[in-house]
């Protein structure tokens, strides 16, 4: 005799539907997009992230329209800034003529119902390739904050619904919250990159933006003095407590897959939603294996995204958002 037989609840699709614990829909996904202003370029493919490209504003508007039709309503946009517009203090990040800010205006004008998230960090605009200001061979924390503040307010003015500080400077969430409120942007949210690790999985992203740290003797070669050590978990809880106290509206874990335990832990201590960034390298790994015929994309892709949600992510940023939405629609 066997009293307990878990297989009884798996006998057919109907009962499996009854007992399914985790649900993921396109409404939970954010699609990251790369913006270019290179003259004459509509689409410039990113070799290490097949199927993804830097897009002109027109191409991005079309991409957003197509995504919205699939049920994806949230987007995070990153600018590919030409070197000629970069300097040590990221001046272009709050220049009123900035193509990124103009694009945000155009996107929100055309799609007022979408949720548009920005990137707050110096690296797209910084000739040194770091998220903060480089001085005396170091990344200067407190001197970076006013730059992030100007950048953030300019983004709110341009119409972004939510700022995404990805820089990992200490105190930046509070600094941004106060800067936004002082400027009257009390409704603009903050999605904090709370636990962002110094990860090897950002490669395709840095290639897309040409934003890797400059290789120079006087410049730190990596981001380890501000991004977290992949070996640490309790430190993520400390970062979460700070971001909650500083007024973050959502907390993010990044990357997602190698950090599912961090997602789970932050979910337990946070009363705001948890986001997870399924980063470029993680997507590239899956795409590579599937393109080689080693894995079945139609099964591996939804399983991957569902595992991130099962770990506790309310929101998932993923380059695979459109593929998931198509897969989801085909099953309805
Ligand atoms: C930098 C930033 C990075 C990503 C988002 N913002 C890379 C980095 O820290 O160098 C990576 C996202 C991805 O790999 O998809 N502010």
pLDDT for the residue numbered 140: 96
Q: Nearest 5°: CA angle at 205, between 284 and 194?
A: 105
Å from CA of 16 to ligand 1 middle: 38
pLDDT for the residue numbered 42: 97
In the set 86, 223, 254, 267, the catalytic residue is 254
Å from CA of 205 to ligand 1 middle: 6
Please give the backbone phi and psi of residue 54, each rounded to the nearest 5 degrees, phi first. -75, 135
Q: 121 CB contacts (<8 Å, ≥6 apart)?
A: 131, 148, 165, 166, 167
- Low-confidence residues of the chain: pLDDT under 70: none
Q: Nearest 5°: CA angle at 101, between 276 and 95?
A: 120
pLDDT for the residue numbered 44: 96
Nearest atom in ligand 1 to 167's CA: 16
Å from CA of 78 to ligand 1 middle: 9
What's the CA gap between 67 and 323, in Å, rounded?
Answer: 10
pLDDT for the residue numbered 116: 98
pLDDT for the residue numbered 216: 79
Ligand 1 pocket, CB under 6 A: 119, 121, 123, 131, 166, 202, 205-206, 223, 279-280
pLDDT for the residue numbered 210: 82
pLDDT for the residue numbered 218: 84
Please give the backbone phi and psi of residue 194, each rounded to the nearest 5 degrees, phi first. -70, -55
Cα dihedral 312, 261, 282, 55, rounded to 10, equals: 50
Q: 3-state DSSP: the chain helix, strand, coil percent, rounded to 5? A: 45, 20, 35
pLDDT for the residue numbered 273: 98
Please give the backbone phi and psi of residue 182, each rounded to the nearest 5 degrees, phi first. -60, -35
pLDDT for the residue numbered 228: 98
267 annotated active-site: no
**For residue 219, what are its two tokens?**
């410049």
What's the CA gap between 302 and 325, in Å, rounded?
Answer: 10
Name the residue of 139, 195, 202, 280 whose CB sits within 8 Å of the most ligand 1 atoms, as the mutation to test its pocket: 202
196 annotated active-site: yes
Concatenated DSSP letters of 200-242: GGGHHHHHHHT-SPP--TTS-SSSTTTSBPTT-SHHHHHHHHH
pLDDT for the residue numbered 141: 97
CB contact at 8 A, 253 and 263: yes
Q: Report the predicted TM-score, pTM, of the whole model to 2 decimal places.
A: 0.97
């Amino acid at each position: 005799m066997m009293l307990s037989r878990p297989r009884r609840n798996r006998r057919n699709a109907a009962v499996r539907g009854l007992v399914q614990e985790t649900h993921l829909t396109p409404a939970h996904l954010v699609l990251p997009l790369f913006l270019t202003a290179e003259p004459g370029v509509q689409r410039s493919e990113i070799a290490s992230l097949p199927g993804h490209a830097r897009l002109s504003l027109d191409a991005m508007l079309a991409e957003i329209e197509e995504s919205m039709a699939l049920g994806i309503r949230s987007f995070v946009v990153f600018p590919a800034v030409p070197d000629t517009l970069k300097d040590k203090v990221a001046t272009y990040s709050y220049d009123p003529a900035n193509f990124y800010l103009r694009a945000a205006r155009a996107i929100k004008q055309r799609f007022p119902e979408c949720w548009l998230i920005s990137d707050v960090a110096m690296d797209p605009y910084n000739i040194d390739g770091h998220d903060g200001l480089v001085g005396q061979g170091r990344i200067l924390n407190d001197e970076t904050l006013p730059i992030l503040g100007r950048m953030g307010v300019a983004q709110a003015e341009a119409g972004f619904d939510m700022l995404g500080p990805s820089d990992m400077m200490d105190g930046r969430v509070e600094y941004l919250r106060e800067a936004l409120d002082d400027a009257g942007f009390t409704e603009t949210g903050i999605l904090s990159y709370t636990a962002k690790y110094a990860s090897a999985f950002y490669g395709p992203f840095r290639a897309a933006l040409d934003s890797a740290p400059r290789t120079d003797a006087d410049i730190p070669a990596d981001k380890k003095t501000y991004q977290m050590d992949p070996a640490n978990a309790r430190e993520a809880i400390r970062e979460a407590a700070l971001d909650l106290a500083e007024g973050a509206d959502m907390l993010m874990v990044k990357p997602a897959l190698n950090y599912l335990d961090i997602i789970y832990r932050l979910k337990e201590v946070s009363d705001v939603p948890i986001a997870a960034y399924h980063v470029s390298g993680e997507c590239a790994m899956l795409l590579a294996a599937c393109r080689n015929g080693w894995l079945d994309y139609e099964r591996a892709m939804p399983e991957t995204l569902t595992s991130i949600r099962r770990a506790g992510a309310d929101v998932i940023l993923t380059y695979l958002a459109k593929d998931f939405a198509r897969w989801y629609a085909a099953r309805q």
